[in-house]
Amino acid sequence: MKNITVIGVGYVGLVTSAAFSDLGNCVTALDINEERITNLKKGIMPIFEPGLSEVVERNVRAGRLFFTTSYAEALKDAEFVFIAVGTPEGVDGEADLQYVRMAAETIAKTMDHPLIIINKSTVPVGTGDWVSDIIHENQPHPLEFSVVSCPEFLREGSAITDFMTPDRTVLGSEDTNAAERVAQLHLPLRAPIMVTDLRTAEMIKYASNAFLATRISFINEIAHICEALGADVKEVARGMGYDKRIGHHFLEAGIGYGGSCFPKDVKALSHMAQIHGKHPQLLHAVMEINDYQRRHVLLKLHDVLGDFKGRIIGLLGLAFKQNTDDMREAPSTTIGDYLSEHGATVRGYDPAARDAAKRVMPYLELVNNPYELVKGADAVVVLTPWNEFKQLDGQRVKEAMRTPVMIDGRNLYEPAAMRELGFVYHGIGRGYNTGDNS
Protein backbone atom coordinates (compact mmCIF):
# COMPACT_ATOMS: atom_id res chain seq x y z
CA MET A 1 0.00 0.00 0.00
CA LYS A 2 1.31 3.42 -1.01
CA ASN A 3 0.31 6.78 0.44
CA ILE A 4 -0.96 8.99 -2.36
CA THR A 5 -2.29 12.54 -2.35
CA VAL A 6 -4.37 13.89 -5.23
CA ILE A 7 -4.82 17.66 -5.46
CA GLY A 8 -8.08 18.55 -7.16
CA VAL A 9 -11.31 16.54 -7.04
CA GLY A 10 -12.66 17.52 -10.42
CA TYR A 11 -13.16 14.98 -13.17
CA VAL A 12 -9.56 13.73 -13.44
CA GLY A 13 -8.67 14.10 -9.77
CA LEU A 14 -11.69 12.29 -8.37
CA VAL A 15 -11.40 9.40 -10.82
CA THR A 16 -7.67 9.11 -10.08
CA SER A 17 -8.32 9.15 -6.33
CA ALA A 18 -11.07 6.56 -6.51
CA ALA A 19 -9.17 4.23 -8.83
CA PHE A 20 -5.87 4.28 -6.93
CA SER A 21 -7.69 3.62 -3.66
CA ASP A 22 -9.53 0.75 -5.34
CA LEU A 23 -6.12 -0.72 -6.18
CA GLY A 24 -5.40 -0.94 -2.44
CA ASN A 25 -3.57 2.34 -1.82
CA CYS A 26 -4.28 4.92 0.87
CA VAL A 27 -5.41 8.06 -0.97
CA THR A 28 -6.12 11.54 0.37
CA ALA A 29 -7.96 13.76 -2.09
CA LEU A 30 -7.60 17.49 -1.51
CA ASP A 31 -9.53 20.45 -2.86
CA ILE A 32 -9.73 24.06 -1.72
CA ASN A 33 -13.45 24.09 -2.54
CA GLU A 34 -14.93 23.43 0.90
CA GLU A 35 -18.44 22.75 -0.38
CA ARG A 36 -17.17 20.10 -2.77
CA ILE A 37 -15.17 18.34 -0.05
CA THR A 38 -18.09 18.53 2.40
CA ASN A 39 -20.39 16.97 -0.19
CA LEU A 40 -17.92 14.21 -1.00
CA LYS A 41 -17.71 13.30 2.67
CA LYS A 42 -21.50 12.92 2.53
CA GLY A 43 -21.27 10.79 -0.61
CA ILE A 44 -22.49 13.53 -2.97
CA MET A 45 -20.58 13.45 -6.25
CA PRO A 46 -19.62 16.72 -8.00
CA ILE A 47 -19.92 15.11 -11.44
CA PHE A 48 -21.98 12.46 -13.18
CA GLU A 49 -19.77 9.54 -14.19
CA PRO A 50 -21.08 5.96 -14.42
CA GLY A 51 -19.72 3.76 -11.64
CA LEU A 52 -17.75 6.51 -9.89
CA SER A 53 -19.98 6.94 -6.85
CA GLU A 54 -19.89 3.20 -6.15
CA VAL A 55 -16.07 3.12 -6.26
CA VAL A 56 -15.80 6.19 -4.03
CA GLU A 57 -18.29 4.83 -1.49
CA ARG A 58 -16.59 1.42 -1.39
CA ASN A 59 -13.16 2.86 -0.67
CA VAL A 60 -14.32 5.45 1.84
CA ARG A 61 -16.05 2.64 3.70
CA ALA A 62 -12.87 0.53 3.52
CA GLY A 63 -10.78 3.33 5.02
CA ARG A 64 -8.60 3.82 1.95
CA LEU A 65 -10.02 7.11 0.59
CA PHE A 66 -10.17 10.40 2.48
CA PHE A 67 -11.14 13.98 1.60
CA THR A 68 -9.68 17.20 3.00
CA THR A 69 -9.12 20.90 2.36
CA SER A 70 -5.87 20.94 4.36
CA TYR A 71 -2.53 20.67 2.56
CA ALA A 72 -0.79 19.86 5.84
CA GLU A 73 -3.13 16.94 6.44
CA ALA A 74 -2.95 15.74 2.83
CA LEU A 75 0.85 15.84 2.58
CA LYS A 76 1.65 14.50 6.05
CA ASP A 77 2.40 10.90 5.03
CA ALA A 78 2.38 11.25 1.25
CA GLU A 79 4.92 9.57 -0.97
CA PHE A 80 3.31 10.61 -4.27
CA VAL A 81 1.40 13.82 -4.96
CA PHE A 82 -0.71 14.08 -8.11
CA ILE A 83 -1.59 17.57 -9.31
CA ALA A 84 -4.97 17.21 -11.02
CA VAL A 85 -6.33 20.76 -10.95
CA GLY A 86 -8.16 22.48 -13.79
CA THR A 87 -6.32 24.13 -16.66
CA PRO A 88 -9.08 26.19 -18.33
CA GLU A 89 -8.68 27.89 -21.66
CA GLY A 90 -7.05 31.33 -21.53
CA VAL A 91 -7.83 34.44 -23.56
CA ASP A 92 -5.75 33.45 -26.61
CA GLY A 93 -6.38 29.70 -26.43
CA GLU A 94 -3.46 29.01 -24.13
CA ALA A 95 -3.90 26.87 -21.02
CA ASP A 96 -4.48 28.88 -17.85
CA LEU A 97 -2.01 27.54 -15.27
CA GLN A 98 -3.02 29.63 -12.26
CA TYR A 99 -4.35 26.60 -10.35
CA VAL A 100 -1.23 24.55 -11.14
CA ARG A 101 0.90 27.43 -9.84
CA MET A 102 -1.16 27.67 -6.65
CA ALA A 103 -0.85 23.93 -6.07
CA ALA A 104 2.92 23.91 -6.69
CA GLU A 105 3.52 26.91 -4.42
CA THR A 106 1.45 25.45 -1.60
CA ILE A 107 3.11 22.04 -1.90
CA ALA A 108 6.51 23.76 -1.66
CA LYS A 109 5.56 25.72 1.45
CA THR A 110 3.89 22.75 3.18
CA MET A 111 6.04 19.70 2.40
CA ASP A 112 8.28 18.46 5.19
CA HIS A 113 9.79 15.37 3.57
CA PRO A 114 10.85 14.27 0.05
CA LEU A 115 8.05 13.86 -2.48
CA ILE A 116 7.43 12.69 -6.01
CA ILE A 117 5.15 15.29 -7.61
CA ILE A 118 3.19 14.09 -10.62
CA ASN A 119 1.51 16.39 -13.12
CA LYS A 120 -1.79 14.70 -14.04
CA SER A 121 -3.46 17.84 -15.40
CA THR A 122 -3.18 18.52 -19.11
CA VAL A 123 -0.49 21.19 -19.21
CA PRO A 124 1.57 22.90 -21.95
CA VAL A 125 4.87 21.41 -22.95
CA GLY A 126 7.49 22.72 -20.52
CA THR A 127 5.18 22.85 -17.50
CA GLY A 128 7.07 20.12 -15.67
CA ASP A 129 10.24 22.24 -15.68
CA TRP A 130 8.18 25.28 -14.63
CA VAL A 131 6.59 23.41 -11.69
CA SER A 132 10.05 22.29 -10.58
CA ASP A 133 11.28 25.89 -10.60
CA ILE A 134 8.24 27.08 -8.61
CA ILE A 135 8.80 24.46 -5.92
CA HIS A 136 12.51 25.28 -5.65
CA GLU A 137 11.71 29.00 -5.33
CA ASN A 138 9.02 28.56 -2.65
CA GLN A 139 10.55 25.97 -0.32
CA PRO A 140 11.40 27.49 3.09
CA HIS A 141 14.14 24.88 3.40
CA PRO A 142 15.56 22.74 0.59
CA LEU A 143 13.97 19.30 0.43
CA GLU A 144 14.39 16.68 -2.26
CA PHE A 145 11.60 16.21 -4.77
CA SER A 146 11.13 15.01 -8.33
CA VAL A 147 8.58 16.01 -10.96
CA VAL A 148 6.99 13.39 -13.21
CA SER A 149 4.50 13.92 -16.02
CA CYS A 150 1.74 11.30 -16.19
CA PRO A 151 -0.90 12.56 -18.65
CA GLU A 152 -4.42 11.20 -18.37
CA PHE A 153 -6.32 9.60 -21.25
CA LEU A 154 -9.76 9.28 -19.67
CA ARG A 155 -12.98 9.52 -21.66
CA GLU A 156 -15.98 11.00 -19.93
CA GLY A 157 -18.61 8.33 -19.58
CA SER A 158 -16.11 5.47 -19.31
CA ALA A 159 -13.42 6.95 -17.05
CA ILE A 160 -13.24 4.16 -14.46
CA THR A 161 -12.83 1.53 -17.16
CA ASP A 162 -10.28 3.68 -18.98
CA PHE A 163 -8.23 4.10 -15.81
CA MET A 164 -8.32 0.42 -14.90
CA THR A 165 -7.70 -0.91 -18.42
CA PRO A 166 -5.60 1.74 -20.18
CA ASP A 167 -4.03 1.38 -23.61
CA ARG A 168 -0.77 2.63 -22.10
CA THR A 169 0.72 4.62 -19.25
CA VAL A 170 2.97 7.49 -20.30
CA LEU A 171 5.55 8.82 -17.82
CA GLY A 172 8.03 11.60 -18.33
CA SER A 173 10.80 12.74 -15.99
CA GLU A 174 14.43 13.74 -15.81
CA ASP A 175 14.72 11.52 -12.72
CA THR A 176 14.79 7.89 -13.84
CA ASN A 177 14.35 6.56 -10.30
CA ALA A 178 11.25 8.71 -9.71
CA ALA A 179 9.74 7.60 -13.02
CA GLU A 180 10.38 3.97 -12.06
CA ARG A 181 8.63 4.43 -8.72
CA VAL A 182 5.58 5.95 -10.43
CA ALA A 183 5.68 3.10 -12.93
CA GLN A 184 5.45 0.66 -10.00
CA LEU A 185 2.19 2.35 -8.95
CA HIS A 186 0.73 1.54 -12.37
CA LEU A 187 1.94 -2.06 -12.68
CA PRO A 188 -1.38 -3.54 -11.42
CA LEU A 189 -3.06 -2.06 -14.48
CA ARG A 190 -1.09 -4.49 -16.69
CA ALA A 191 -0.67 -2.04 -19.57
CA PRO A 192 2.43 -0.97 -21.50
CA ILE A 193 4.40 1.71 -19.65
CA MET A 194 6.36 4.22 -21.70
CA VAL A 195 9.01 6.29 -19.92
CA THR A 196 10.42 9.34 -21.63
CA ASP A 197 11.53 12.88 -20.82
CA LEU A 198 9.13 15.46 -19.35
CA ARG A 199 8.43 17.45 -22.50
CA THR A 200 7.85 14.43 -24.69
CA ALA A 201 5.32 13.01 -22.24
CA GLU A 202 3.48 16.34 -22.16
CA MET A 203 3.46 16.47 -25.96
CA ILE A 204 2.09 12.93 -26.28
CA LYS A 205 -1.12 14.06 -24.54
CA TYR A 206 -1.67 17.03 -26.85
CA ALA A 207 -0.72 15.14 -30.00
CA SER A 208 -3.09 12.29 -29.12
CA ASN A 209 -6.10 14.55 -28.56
CA ALA A 210 -5.33 16.66 -31.61
CA PHE A 211 -5.17 13.56 -33.80
CA LEU A 212 -8.51 12.25 -32.54
CA ALA A 213 -10.09 15.66 -33.10
CA THR A 214 -8.62 15.63 -36.61
CA ARG A 215 -10.31 12.31 -37.36
CA ILE A 216 -13.66 13.74 -36.28
CA SER A 217 -13.26 16.85 -38.42
CA PHE A 218 -12.04 14.75 -41.35
CA ILE A 219 -15.12 12.54 -41.41
CA ASN A 220 -17.35 15.60 -41.01
CA GLU A 221 -15.74 17.16 -44.08
CA ILE A 222 -16.27 13.90 -45.95
CA ALA A 223 -19.93 14.06 -44.83
CA HIS A 224 -20.37 17.42 -46.56
CA ILE A 225 -18.95 15.97 -49.76
CA CYS A 226 -21.21 12.92 -49.40
CA GLU A 227 -24.24 15.21 -49.19
CA ALA A 228 -23.19 16.98 -52.37
CA LEU A 229 -22.50 13.76 -54.28
CA GLY A 230 -25.34 11.58 -52.95
CA ALA A 231 -23.26 9.15 -50.90
CA ASP A 232 -23.90 7.84 -47.38
CA VAL A 233 -21.14 8.82 -44.96
CA LYS A 234 -22.00 6.02 -42.50
CA GLU A 235 -21.30 3.43 -45.15
CA VAL A 236 -18.21 5.33 -46.29
CA ALA A 237 -16.84 5.34 -42.74
CA ARG A 238 -17.64 1.65 -42.31
CA GLY A 239 -15.80 0.83 -45.52
CA MET A 240 -12.81 2.92 -44.47
CA GLY A 241 -12.72 1.39 -41.00
CA TYR A 242 -12.11 -2.14 -42.22
CA ASP A 243 -8.68 -0.97 -43.36
CA LYS A 244 -6.40 -1.84 -40.44
CA ARG A 245 -4.34 1.26 -41.12
CA ILE A 246 -7.43 3.42 -40.46
CA GLY A 247 -9.79 1.62 -38.06
CA HIS A 248 -13.35 2.53 -37.09
CA HIS A 249 -12.79 4.74 -34.06
CA PHE A 250 -13.69 8.44 -34.21
CA LEU A 251 -15.13 8.20 -37.71
CA GLU A 252 -18.72 9.08 -36.85
CA ALA A 253 -19.99 12.13 -38.68
CA GLY A 254 -22.15 14.49 -36.68
CA ILE A 255 -22.08 17.86 -34.98
CA GLY A 256 -18.41 17.77 -34.06
CA TYR A 257 -16.43 17.36 -30.87
CA GLY A 258 -17.02 19.18 -27.59
CA GLY A 259 -16.30 18.73 -23.91
CA SER A 260 -13.41 19.80 -21.73
CA CYS A 261 -10.53 18.24 -23.67
CA PHE A 262 -10.55 18.33 -27.45
CA PRO A 263 -11.55 21.99 -27.99
CA LYS A 264 -9.19 23.26 -25.30
CA ASP A 265 -6.26 21.01 -26.19
CA VAL A 266 -6.35 21.67 -29.95
CA LYS A 267 -6.42 25.43 -29.31
CA ALA A 268 -3.62 25.16 -26.76
CA LEU A 269 -1.42 23.13 -29.12
CA SER A 270 -2.07 25.63 -31.91
CA HIS A 271 -1.15 28.46 -29.54
CA MET A 272 2.09 26.73 -28.53
CA ALA A 273 3.01 26.25 -32.16
CA GLN A 274 2.31 29.86 -33.08
CA ILE A 275 4.27 31.45 -30.24
CA HIS A 276 7.25 29.39 -31.39
CA GLY A 277 6.93 30.61 -34.96
CA LYS A 278 5.25 27.55 -36.45
CA HIS A 279 2.15 27.49 -38.65
CA PRO A 280 -0.36 24.83 -37.54
CA GLN A 281 -2.54 24.94 -40.67
CA LEU A 282 -4.05 21.50 -40.09
CA LEU A 283 -5.04 22.35 -36.50
CA HIS A 284 -6.70 25.54 -37.72
CA ALA A 285 -8.68 23.56 -40.30
CA VAL A 286 -9.75 21.04 -37.64
CA MET A 287 -11.14 23.84 -35.48
CA GLU A 288 -12.84 25.61 -38.40
CA ILE A 289 -14.59 22.44 -39.57
CA ASN A 290 -15.73 21.71 -36.03
CA ASP A 291 -17.17 25.20 -35.58
CA TYR A 292 -18.99 24.90 -38.89
CA GLN A 293 -20.80 21.70 -37.85
CA ARG A 294 -23.04 23.67 -35.49
CA ARG A 295 -23.87 26.17 -38.24
CA HIS A 296 -24.50 23.29 -40.64
CA VAL A 297 -27.25 21.93 -38.38
CA LEU A 298 -28.81 25.38 -38.09
CA LEU A 299 -28.71 25.83 -41.86
CA LYS A 300 -30.51 22.51 -42.34
CA LEU A 301 -33.15 23.58 -39.86
CA HIS A 302 -33.54 26.97 -41.53
CA ASP A 303 -33.92 25.37 -44.95
CA VAL A 304 -36.96 23.48 -43.67
CA LEU A 305 -38.58 25.98 -41.28
CA GLY A 306 -37.46 29.33 -42.61
CA ASP A 307 -37.83 31.96 -39.85
CA PHE A 308 -37.38 30.60 -36.31
CA LYS A 309 -39.54 33.26 -34.67
CA GLY A 310 -42.47 31.70 -32.83
CA ARG A 311 -41.30 28.15 -33.50
CA ILE A 312 -41.06 25.47 -30.82
CA ILE A 313 -37.85 23.49 -31.26
CA GLY A 314 -36.81 20.57 -29.10
CA LEU A 315 -33.19 19.68 -28.40
CA LEU A 316 -32.91 15.94 -27.81
CA GLY A 317 -29.80 15.65 -25.67
CA LEU A 318 -27.89 18.54 -24.10
CA ALA A 319 -24.57 17.20 -22.75
CA PHE A 320 -21.69 17.20 -25.21
CA LYS A 321 -21.78 13.38 -25.28
CA GLN A 322 -23.67 10.49 -23.72
CA ASN A 323 -23.02 9.15 -20.19
CA THR A 324 -21.98 12.54 -18.81
CA ASP A 325 -23.57 15.76 -17.59
CA ASP A 326 -20.71 17.89 -18.96
CA MET A 327 -21.94 20.98 -20.81
CA ARG A 328 -18.52 22.40 -21.62
CA GLU A 329 -18.33 23.23 -25.34
CA ALA A 330 -21.57 21.29 -25.85
CA PRO A 331 -23.07 21.89 -29.33
CA SER A 332 -26.47 22.32 -27.68
CA THR A 333 -25.35 25.63 -26.19
CA THR A 334 -24.35 27.14 -29.55
CA ILE A 335 -27.47 25.86 -31.30
CA GLY A 336 -29.83 26.70 -28.45
CA ASP A 337 -28.42 30.21 -28.03
CA TYR A 338 -28.90 30.96 -31.73
CA LEU A 339 -32.45 29.64 -31.81
CA SER A 340 -33.44 31.56 -28.69
CA GLU A 341 -31.87 34.78 -29.97
CA HIS A 342 -33.90 34.40 -33.19
CA GLY A 343 -37.24 34.07 -31.45
CA ALA A 344 -37.69 30.32 -31.01
CA THR A 345 -38.98 28.63 -27.89
CA VAL A 346 -36.26 26.12 -27.07
CA ARG A 347 -37.08 22.95 -25.16
CA GLY A 348 -34.51 20.51 -23.91
CA TYR A 349 -34.26 16.99 -22.54
CA ASP A 350 -31.21 15.10 -21.30
CA PRO A 351 -31.07 12.08 -18.94
CA ALA A 352 -28.18 13.53 -16.89
CA ALA A 353 -27.43 17.16 -17.77
CA ARG A 354 -30.67 18.83 -16.70
CA ASP A 355 -29.21 20.99 -13.90
CA ALA A 356 -25.95 21.72 -15.71
CA ALA A 357 -27.82 22.76 -18.86
CA LYS A 358 -30.12 25.16 -17.01
CA ARG A 359 -27.12 27.00 -15.56
CA VAL A 360 -25.68 27.78 -18.99
CA MET A 361 -28.95 27.96 -20.97
CA PRO A 362 -31.37 29.89 -18.72
CA TYR A 363 -33.92 30.31 -21.53
CA LEU A 364 -34.33 26.54 -21.87
CA GLU A 365 -37.69 24.91 -21.17
CA LEU A 366 -36.63 21.63 -19.58
CA VAL A 367 -38.93 18.62 -19.87
CA ASN A 368 -38.97 15.18 -18.26
CA ASN A 369 -38.88 12.85 -21.27
CA PRO A 370 -38.50 12.84 -25.06
CA TYR A 371 -42.24 12.59 -25.72
CA GLU A 372 -42.90 15.70 -23.67
CA LEU A 373 -40.11 17.38 -25.62
CA VAL A 374 -41.75 16.87 -29.02
CA LYS A 375 -45.37 17.64 -28.04
CA GLY A 376 -46.54 20.42 -30.36
CA ALA A 377 -42.97 21.05 -31.59
CA ASP A 378 -42.12 22.35 -35.04
CA ALA A 379 -38.82 20.45 -35.11
CA VAL A 380 -36.58 18.24 -33.01
CA VAL A 381 -32.78 18.33 -33.21
CA VAL A 382 -30.86 15.24 -32.04
CA LEU A 383 -27.69 16.42 -30.31
CA THR A 384 -26.55 13.67 -27.90
CA PRO A 385 -26.49 9.94 -28.77
CA TRP A 386 -27.90 8.55 -25.52
CA ASN A 387 -28.87 4.90 -25.89
CA GLU A 388 -32.42 5.55 -24.74
CA PHE A 389 -32.99 7.78 -27.77
CA LYS A 390 -32.34 4.88 -30.12
CA GLN A 391 -35.48 3.10 -28.92
CA LEU A 392 -37.99 5.95 -29.29
CA ASP A 393 -41.35 5.16 -30.86
CA GLY A 394 -41.03 7.09 -34.11
CA GLN A 395 -44.75 7.00 -34.85
CA ARG A 396 -45.56 8.40 -31.42
CA VAL A 397 -42.98 11.15 -31.88
CA LYS A 398 -44.37 12.11 -35.29
CA GLU A 399 -47.97 12.23 -34.09
CA ALA A 400 -47.03 14.44 -31.13
CA MET A 401 -45.28 17.08 -33.26
CA ARG A 402 -46.93 20.04 -34.94
CA THR A 403 -44.69 19.50 -37.94
CA PRO A 404 -42.63 16.26 -38.13
CA VAL A 405 -39.19 17.78 -38.80
CA MET A 406 -36.10 16.02 -37.46
CA ILE A 407 -32.50 17.17 -37.82
CA ASP A 408 -30.46 14.19 -36.69
CA GLY A 409 -27.07 15.60 -35.72
CA ARG A 410 -25.87 12.18 -34.57
CA ASN A 411 -27.19 9.95 -37.36
CA LEU A 412 -29.03 7.83 -34.79
CA TYR A 413 -31.83 6.86 -37.16
CA GLU A 414 -32.10 5.37 -40.61
CA PRO A 415 -33.20 7.99 -43.15
CA ALA A 416 -35.42 5.64 -45.18
CA ALA A 417 -37.29 4.45 -42.09
CA MET A 418 -37.85 7.96 -40.83
CA ARG A 419 -39.09 9.18 -44.20
CA GLU A 420 -41.44 6.22 -44.40
CA LEU A 421 -42.95 7.32 -41.09
CA GLY A 422 -43.57 10.72 -42.62
CA PHE A 423 -40.74 12.78 -41.14
CA VAL A 424 -38.94 15.54 -42.95
CA TYR A 425 -35.62 14.03 -41.95
CA HIS A 426 -32.09 15.34 -42.38
CA GLY A 427 -29.04 13.51 -41.10
CA ILE A 428 -25.38 14.40 -41.56
CA GLY A 429 -23.84 13.18 -44.80
CA ARG A 430 -26.68 10.75 -45.61
CA GLY A 431 -27.17 11.92 -49.22
CA TYR A 432 -27.76 8.56 -50.90
CA ASN A 433 -30.26 7.15 -48.43
CA THR A 434 -32.45 10.23 -48.21
CA GLY A 435 -32.57 11.07 -51.90
CA ASP A 436 -32.55 14.79 -51.06
CA ASN A 437 -28.93 15.47 -50.06
CA SER A 438 -29.62 15.47 -46.36
Catalogue the active-site residues: 261
Q: What is the distance in angstroms between the CA of the first residue and the CA of the last residue of the chain?
A: 57
**Among 262, 261, 259, 279, CA closest to 270:** 279
